[in-house]
Every structure is written in structure tokens, then in C-alpha cells.
Chains A and B, each alone.
Chain A
Amino acid sequence: MGSELRVTVSREDVLQVARLARLALTEDEVERLGAQLGAILEAVGKVSELDLEGVEPTSHPLELVNVWGQDEPRASLEPEEALANAPDRSGNLFRVPPV
């Protein structure tokens, strides 16, 4: 995946991306993942070599458009089931810190 493109990812970039991705990286991770991110971006940046003006993007490999289903009522989970894997709960609610 060699490429001429040089990508530098600054410490601020890494912190900003981590913030967007909701990851509280440790200092060590900021260094390590930041360096790896730069190397990977440099490699994948190879896609920019191609002139693809006018080429339609592919988002999905099948030609499916609008899949319809019947609107049939079905039983949903009981509260006890829905809360079975909850790390913390309060009655029939998921408990979280103040939002």
C-alpha cells in the first residue's frame, strides 16, 4: 500500500478524533495510536491517485432499493428481559450518571 502522500496527524488531531469517537485514550495510546493512524492514513490515501470524476459511488453490493415489510404487531421484550444485561438499573430503567 505504498504511497507518496505524507500524512502527519498532530496530537490535537488525535485528541479531536478520540473525542468524536468517545474514547478516553491514555497518554501512551495517544502516542502509539497517533503514530499508527498516520502510517495507515498514508497507505490508504493511495485511493486519491485515481481520477474518478463522474464515477458513481457504491455503498452496497446489491441493487436493492426500498425493502418493504408488513406492519404486523409483535410482542416485544418484557422489562425484566430488556434489563437482564444492564450494568446498572433503577426499577424498570437503565441507571446512568447525571446527563
Chain B
Amino acid sequence: MSAVDTLRLTAEEGLALIERRELSGVELHAAYLEAIEKRDGELHAYLRTVERAEGDAVPIALKDLISTRGVETTAGSRILAGYRPLFDATVATRCREAGLPLLGKTNLDEFAMGSSTENSAYGPTRNPWDPERVPGGSSGGSAAAVAGGLAPWALGSDTGGSIKQPAALCGIVGLRPTYGTVSRYGIVAFASSLDQVGPMAKTVRDCALLYRIIAGRDPCDSTTVELPEAIELPRDEDLRGLRVGIPRELNEAEGVERGVSDAVTRAIELCRELGAEVGECELPRSVEYGLPCYYLIAPSEASSNLARYDGVRFGHRADGSGSIHELYERTRDEGFGDEPKRRIMLGTYALSAGYYEAYYGQAQKVRTVIRDEFAAALERFDVLLSPTSPTVAFPLGSRTENPLAMYLADVLTIPPNMAGLPGLSIPCGLSEGLPVGLQLIGRQFSENTLFRAGHALERALEFDFVPERLR
């Protein structure tokens, strides 16, 4: 077996090694387990690993809210400790059918609620670029695993920015697909009108390969649709003919760090050099009202989705005697951490009689405004560009006491998510020695365009995805 540099190897290169029979999928799986053994004590990207490789392609890591038959799936919550799903999520089945052996389940903010992976009941994940900093979240475990050479690629999920933001903070590529293109069957639900599963990898082409495996209609998820066109692996190295819009409010939002803004400006300049037609546009209300709109709709849906955790059929149950209601209430108080409790309370309040119209009803109307604004911008442009995150990775513990400060991490990813649009984050440079993410937003079902643009930019940017301290 040839030595594998798991920090450098892309999934595509791994597949080529297997194709040429220089390496087997089982050997590759073993090489990653060895890397995990060596480095995951520090990073804590994984909640558990799978020792036996099943499949002979490139292995994969799955966020621990993706059901895996017989393999504990916790969603980062104490309330699901010990829970072993009876079935595979459709995305897990598709990975298995494609021959991708499971490496393990990655850490996340509890029920995907958070932007730093510090809300996991099982301890935080650390950023491979600087272990004193967060990897972003909620798919922080998947992002850190890929960036730290502990998985060639991984699946995450994104409700308000949980794929794009950690991809940005860890210097990798992440796709939040168009709503409805990837099955949620077997995914632990957070906010059903927003949740999407998507690929995280070192390159745009790897993301396209993995998206091709998981996307498409699933009879078990009635919100899925067939893709209107096949997914192509991007090859073009220029952007000729592409109209690129720069929404002012997303790029000049309050709180965008200077270093982040500089890196994004350079990427925009590069678009021009690559032949794109670049122009400005406006999203007057989407950015200002996106975050408040999201923090009414997502918690409202969460308060309903999380009602199923009652200690009766699976998961944690509180000890002691009492009525059935006392059992529910104590089980939920013991099982949920602070963030799910905050969001359940917020959602329950927003949906309760007397407040419904002012909060939830109004937020749904704001959502229409956001959709219309993006639709207008995307009539003039094929792709919109902005920073993915206003800041680079922040220090562990710096925002945990202030929920509203943490919520701001997603201020730039939430608006397109409310509109159901796909978004790709690619690394576009460094600020203070830490990766900066560039967000590419497209029309619904325009993943091929995002891949094409992302790939051409990636080639021109020549970002080195191996964290500096690990080179």
C-alpha cells in the first residue's frame, strides 16, 4: 500500500487511485482511520468511527444527524444518546450504493442549532487551522474532518448556513443545494422548510461528484423533485458569458471584517479577469430583515419538530415516578441543551394564540419579500457573490454567552436560504492567517452554473486547502 497523504488527497484523486488499482477502498479507509487516530484527539471532529469498511470507493464521513442503520445517531444531543436507527437515511443508502465506506459520524451543534459546534452535548470541535478557534457550525465536525485530512469528503446539512459557514471557516468547499433536490428521509429534522443536506469537500469538482450521488427525487420524501438537468463535472477555466452580480447589502453588511472584505473584493476582480460581466445590484430588505425572519420561522418549525422527543419510544427518559406529563417535561429538560430549549421556547411563543399573526405570520410574508428580491436580482445576473461569513473563525467561547452575537454568524447565508436558493462556499484567501469564504448564490436548480463558476475561480485563486500549521 502506497503512503497516502490524507491532508492533500482529493476524493477525485482517491477514486483514480482505486480505479488504477494502486489502492483499494478498504486501504484508503484504513489510512483515514489512522489519520483520525493521530489527529482527532485534538480536533474532535468525530463522535464515533466505523472500523469495518463496507464498499470499495472513497470513504465518507456523515454528520451525526443522518440516520445510519445500527450505528448510533445522536444529532449532538443527550436526548438521543444510545439511539440506533432502524433504517438508513436515503442519502446514507445512496452513498452505500455508490460504494463509499462509512468512516464515521461527525460532531455538530445540538440538532444543528448553532454556528460554532460548541452547542454539541459531546464537546466542541476545533478548527484545524487554529485549534483555539471554532470550525463554524453546525456542520463543524464534517468541515474540520475534511480540512484536517480526516475524511476526503463529508455530508453536512444546512438550515441557516450550517454547510456554507463551516466550509468557509475551515477553508473547504461546501454546497447548500437547492431546496428539494436532496432527500431528507432519515435526517433528524430541525426546520423543515429550510433543512437541506449537501456535500463538503476540498474541491468544487469533489462537491459536484458527491452531489451527483445524493441528489434526485426520493419517494420517501414528498418534498423532493427530479433534477431538471444532469450534474456535470466542471471543466471551464474562464467565466466568459457569465453575469456576476454583487449585492451591495450582502457585501457592505455591518460586521463584515476588513480582511474578509478585501479577500472577496480580490475574488470579484478575478471574475472580471476571467471574462465575467460584473455589476452591482440591491437586495434592500433581504439582508436587514432576513435574520429576524429566520429566527421566527426556524424556531417555530423546530418547536414542532422537536415535540417528538418525549422519552417514550426512543432516546433518553428521565428516571423516577410521576405522571406521563411529568415524564415528558423532565425528560425534555434533562435531554435538551440550552440552545434547543431557547429555540423551542421562542417558537412556541411565536406560534401561540395572540402572537401568531404578528410574529410567524408576518415572518412568512417577509419571506415572500426576500424571494421576490432575489428573483429580481437573478433575472439580471446568473450568480451573486458575497462573503459567506462576515468574520473568519472566532475563538472558542467568545460568543457562547450571547446567543444574538452567535446568530449574526449566519447573517449573510440566511437570506438566500429563505428563498430556497442554492449556495456554494469556496475559500478565496486568508485574513489573519485564517480562511475566508466566498458565497456564490444561484437560481433554483442552477448547481451546474455554481460549480462552473466555483471551479474556474478555484483554479485561478490557487488556494491551498491544507491548513498552514499542518503542512
Residues of A within 8 A of B (CB): 1, 3, 9, 13-14, 17-18, 20-26, 29, 33, 36-37, 39-41, 43-48, 50, 52, 55-62, 64, 67, 69, 77, 81-82, 84-88, 94, 96-99
Q: Which of B106-114, B124-132, B355-363 contacts A (4 or more CB under 8 A)?
A: B355-363
Q: Which residues of B contact A58 (CB under 8 A)?
A: 364-365, 367-368, 371
A98 x B345 contact (CB < 8 A): no
B312 x A24 contact (CB < 8 A): no
Given contacts A1-B404, A55-B368, 8 further A-B contacts (CB under 8 A): A17-B345, A22-B325, A33-B341, A43-B295, A43-B404, A57-B368, A58-B367, A61-B419
B420 x A23 contact (CB < 8 A): no
A44 x B359 contact (CB < 8 A): yes
Q: Which residues of A contact B344 (CB under 8 A)?
A: 21, 23
B84 x A84 contact (CB < 8 A): yes
Cα distance A41–B348 in the bound complex, in angstroms: 12
Give the residue of A33, A44, A62, A85 whose beta carbon is less than 8 angstroms from that of B180: A62
Cα distance A84–B82 in the bound complex, in angstroms: 11
Which of A23, A40, A61, A99: most chain B CB closer than 10 A? A61
Give the residue of A17, A20, A25, A99 whose beta carbon is less than 8 angstroms from that of B333: A25
B362 x A48 contact (CB < 8 A): yes
Output the least CB separation between A41 and chain B (Å): 7
Q: Which residues of A contact B292 (CB under 8 A)?
A: 1, 3, 43-47
User: Which of chain A's residues has its CB closest to B421's CB?
Assistant: A61
Cα distance A64–B350 in the bound complex, in angstroms: 26
Cα distance A84–B84 in the bound complex, in angstroms: 8
User: Which of chain A's residues has its CB closest to B288's CB?
Assistant: A46
Also in contact, A33 and B345, with CB within 8 A (given A84-B86, A97-B323) = yes
What is the interface residue range for chain B against chain A?
35 or more
B314 x A50 contact (CB < 8 A): no
A29 x B219 contact (CB < 8 A): no
B367 x A62 contact (CB < 8 A): no
Q: Is B37 an interface residue when CB atoms closer than 8 A count as contact?
A: no
Residues of B within 8 A of A (CB): 82-84, 86, 179-180, 193, 219, 222-223, 225, 285, 288-289, 291-293, 295-296, 303, 307, 310-317, 321-330, 332-333, 336, 338, 341-342, 344-346, 348-350, 352, 358-359, 361-369, 371, 403-404, 407-408, 418-420, 444
Cα distance A61–B179 in the bound complex, in angstroms: 7
A55 x B348 contact (CB < 8 A): no
Cα distance A41–B285 in the bound complex, in angstroms: 19
- Chain A interface, >50% SS class: loop
Q: Which residues of B contact A82 (CB under 8 A)?
A: 86
B404 x A20 contact (CB < 8 A): no
Q: Which residues of A contact B336 (CB under 8 A)?
A: 23
Give the residue of B293, B326, B338, B371 whose beta carbon is less than 8 angstroms from that of A47: B293
Q: Which residues of B contact A48 (CB under 8 A)?
A: 358, 362
Cα distance A85–B309 in the bound complex, in angstroms: 13
Also in contact, A22 and B349, with CB within 8 A (given A1-B291, A61-B419) = no
Cα distance A89–B174 in the bound complex, in angstroms: 43
Cα distance A81–B69 in the bound complex, in angstroms: 12
Output the least CB separation between B291 and chain A (Å): 6
B352 x A24 contact (CB < 8 A): no
B324 x A98 contact (CB < 8 A): yes
Cα distance A12–B315 in the bound complex, in angstroms: 30
Also in contact, A61 and B323, with CB within 8 A (given A25-B333, A40-B342, A50-B366) = no
Which of A25, A44, A48, A81: most chain B CB closer than 10 A? A44
Also in contact, A37 and B333, with CB within 8 A (given A57-B364, A69-B222) = no
Cα distance A29–B332 in the bound complex, in angstroms: 13
B371 x A37 contact (CB < 8 A): no
Output the least CB separation between B339 and chain A (Å): 10
